[in-house]
Structure 1
Amino acid sequence: MTTRTLLLTTLAMLAFAGNSLLCRLALRDTEIDAASFTSLRLLAGALTLWLLLRLRTAHSINAGSWPAATALFVYAAAFSFAYLYLGAGAGALILFGAVQLSMLAWGLYRGERLGLKGYSGLLLAFVGLLVLLLPGASRPPTGAALLMLLAGVAWGGYSLLGRSVKDPLAATTGNFLRAVPMTLVLSALLFAQARWDVPGFIYALLSGALTSGVGYAIWYSALRGLQSFQAASVQLSVPILAALAGSLLLDEALSLRLLLSATAVLGGIALVLSVQQRRT
């Protein structure tokens, strides 16, 4: 991994963790609703990326694709509604656990084989998610957890679609612009529930312009220098970053259930990725 790729990857992981914090902060502590947050986030991201693209001598907003844009919208919408009820750490763990498991499932579908050690790791990761979702005082709400699982699958698809793009900034811009009509339809359907205030508006703009728009363009750039197992493994840092930041900045508790689940999920996926790395 080159120094440039390492720097881009680090910035992208910080942006991913920042998304969890900004979304949770906005939906917990301000008046903004989830649909409005999603729309403002995608609109701000699209505008920021379009402006960045305009600064280049050569640019095209025809890059990207409708499948990637759909995956982006599904991720963003499910992410927002899930964070109405999930803590930053638990939400990030479910999200990126689902991301990795969905990407691994795609690899298995394509014919990859993991061996005993790899399948043991996959089983451990599934058990870790089940530990988090089993009944108990600290279990996340089922509906919110399922929405975050959906967000994770959508983000996994978005990452897979981004590995082959030739122009990361143009592709990300095109995806965001295509996602804008989808999110406007969502806001129109839920217009009766719409509400917002200045802090919520600001958090949504920051999430869209910086940690989403610029962050995703950086991630698409980093993907070009990462092998598939590296792209999957580095994202394991995000739940840890989000949980620690949620505890320090949002005063969210680090429960024993969350810590045990995180250990199992991240450890299991790391085990699978270690098998893939040796084969590569």
Structure 2
Amino acid sequence: MKVAGEVVLITGAGGGIGRALAREARRRGAAGLILSDLPGPGLESIAAETGALAIAGDLRDPDFIPALVQQGEAALGPVGIACANAGTAAGWIEKGIITAPGDEIWALAWEVNVLSHVRLSRAVLPGMIARGRGHLLQTISAAGLLTAPGAATYSATKHAALGLAESIAIAHGKDGIGVTALCPQGVDTAMLADVKDEATRADGVMSAEEVAALGFDGVEAGQFLVTPHERVRRYMTKKAGDYEGWIISMQEYKARMRR
């Protein structure tokens, strides 16, 4: 599905990959942009730069996403491409028990990394299916395919987000709905700056602009899985071919990182 001529909705647009997605969508000729994030200068500045409609709000509010889609479509027309991009790395553990973060942190990770994807798809899919066309671009992570050694909250919710993306693609592909799961490793964003685990940087850090361009390349090619870091596919093959060996190798890697 070409970006040109489509109304594109992007969550988490105030910075990082979301900001880069907004610029890339505009560059590719999107007919309109609906950008969302928490209130703040990040959202305001990217909306002014791209001429987008900015709608601030908290994705953890179950009423916000339906209102976001309704308001955005009333102003700009039907959403053709919905980018579930907002995410959180809350709960990263450097030392101690990996499941130590409190229930409130687990709930935050679940709400932002998974339920926001559920709610956005629930809001846009009926219209897309009725029109017989539409695309979901889900910003997930290589942690959803592999595992981030220092973050059970992040890895578990990113695995869930990938399972959701697969489920939508399988259930609604024949309804004219495309799904692209964008799964990078380290990306030069504020989120990465907050993460001290070097595994996220082991295969190089890409710019948000590079990742955004590859994400929309995947949308336009009708590609389900986009792995900007080339080694991720090889890691996936190794993991699937010898799961026990993969776990052992990751245990050894984690032990080396502790020294």
Query: By the TM > 0.5 criterion, same fold?
Result: no
Task: Please give the TM-score of this superposition, normalised by the length of structure 2.
Answer: 0.32
Instruction: Give the structure with the higher percent strand.
Output: 2
Instruction: Give the structure with the higher percent helix.
Output: 1
Task: Please give the TM-score of this superposition, normalised by the length of structure 1.
Answer: 0.30
Q: Which has the higher contact order (CA 8 A, sep 6+)?
A: 1
